[in-house]
Every structure is written in C-alpha cells, then in structure tokens.
Amino acid sequence: MRIVVVKRVLGDNERRAARLRQRFAAGRCLAVNLLGSPGAGKTALLERLIPMLRRRRLSVAVIEGDIATTRDAERIEKAGAPAVQVTTRGVCHLDAAMVGAALRKLGRLPDVLFIENVGNLVCPAAFALGESERLVVLSVPEGDDKPDKYPAAFAGASAVVINKLDLAAYCKFNKARAVLAARSVNPALAVFETSCADGFGLRELAEWLLARRASALALRRPAASTGSFRDVAP
C-alpha cells in the first residue's frame, strides 16, 4: 500500500511540475533548482551570483526552501533580489505545489529564478519543480564520496558545483574521485569549482547560466533568427 501512495504523490507532483515548466518557458524564465546538503554554501553562492547576473541586466528572484526560519530569504534580499520564503515545517524537500504557491506571491516571473531547495541530497532529488536546470552544490568539507552515497541527486543534475575550494588545503577531498563518481551516473554533467570566500570560479558559473538561458530562448524563436545572448535577452 505504501508503494501505491508514493506513486500517487510523485505522479501528482509530475503533473504540477509539467505545468510549471510550461509557465517558465512561456515567461522566458530560466528556473534553476539548487540542491545541496546543509552548509554546502547554496545561499552564499546565490549572494555572489545575484549581483553578477543583475549587472548583465537580468532580473533575478529566489524561492527559499527551509524547514524553519526566514534567515536565508533575508540574506537574499540584502543581496538585491526578491525572495519568497517557503517554510516546510518538517518536510525535507520542496514540491511543485509549494513552488506554484510561492510564484503567486512573487508575481511577475524574473529572467532567472533560483529555487533553493531544503538542505538535503535525498528527497529533493525525487521531486521535479518544473526547473530548466538542476545544480547540485557539493562542498569540499563534506567529502568526495557524496556522489557515491547519493547518486540520484547527481544523476538528475545539469551541473555540480564543487564549492569552498578555499578550504581544500585543510580537507581530505579528492576532486578527481568526486567528479569521476558523479559522471559515472551522469556523463553529461558540467563541473564548476567555486569559492564564495574569494569569488573563485563564480564568473564561469554565471556565464554558464547565461549560455543555458540563451540556448533555451533560441529554441523558442524562429530558426532563421540567431545571435548572441545579448540579442535574445529581453
């Protein structure tokens, strides 16, 4: 009986996620689902990326998922982006219904919407949110075995962000092993190395996001029309 209930829940979520995906596409919005363990640096990463994307004349907003408190949403607003807090009160992941409700509070879709999921590498991997891209943040202090332990999170991702590189000298982290393990379940996975402490690698990640949005927009316009990211940005 439990299996039947789980299938029903996931099936309902997939239907809601499909509607969100259509809405994001129609609104020319790049939706990014951000996964990672507690303390991996997801919010710090957004604090760095938001000003960079805004300098490229893109509007940015964030849906913040947390079991309790509004602290991360407050940090995001200080970084210059509107944030909608989703307090799950014990639920270990966001789902499409929660994102839909948050969008009603947000109002107009931004050019780039980050959905910072609850800190967890298990449950969030099973729930689609209508996102265009899924990023997994893996911090150096966590260890290089996380792709082996939580393969589903990496199998469904577009990219992995190896964060807190500034701590590499103090941690036994084998970057090559982590990348090999992640790509064993997802050969197409893009890999970025970042440090929010000194900004290392953030520009490359921002450029990748810009390119992904440009590619998505190009697919939705007539084939005869081509150009750079600046050409397709609203």
Q: What is the CATH number of the domain that holds 204?
A: 3.40.50.300
Answer yes or no: are the C-beta atoms of 137 and 116 closer than 8 Å.
Answer: no
In a domain, 125, yes or no: yes
In a domain, 62, yes or no: yes
Q: Give the C-alpha separation, 216 to 208, whole Å.
A: 12
In a domain, 11, yes or no: yes
Q: Give the C-alpha separation, 72 to 90, whole Å.
A: 17
In a domain, 172, yes or no: no
In a domain, 163, yes or no: no
- Per the structure, how many domains does the chain have? 1
In a domain, 16, yes or no: yes
Answer yes or no: are the C-beta atoms of 191 and 182 closer than 8 Å.
Answer: yes
In a domain, 73, yes or no: yes
Residue 218: its pLDDT value, please? 87
Residue 6: its pLDDT value, please? 59
Each residue's pLDDT tens digit in the chain (234 positions)? 444 545 677 789 999 999 999 999 999 999 999 999 999 999 999 999 999 999 999 999 999 999 999 999 999 999 999 999 999 989 999 999 999 999 999 989 999 999 999 999 999 999 999 999 999 999 999 999 999 999 999 999 999 999 999 999 999 999 999 999 999 999 999 999 999 999 999 999 999 999 999 998 987 664 332 232 222 232
In a domain, 230, yes or no: no
DSSP state of 200: B
Residue 8: its pLDDT value, please? 75
Which residue segment(s) compose the domain that 13 sits in? Answer: 2-135+199-225
Q: Give the C-alpha separation, 225 to 91, whole Å.
A: 45
Q: Give the C-alpha separation, 86 to 82, whole Å.
A: 13
Task: Name residues whose C-beta falls within 8 Å of residue 64's C-beta, 6 or more positions apart in sequence.
Answer: 43, 70, 72, 73, 76, 83, 84, 85, 86, 116
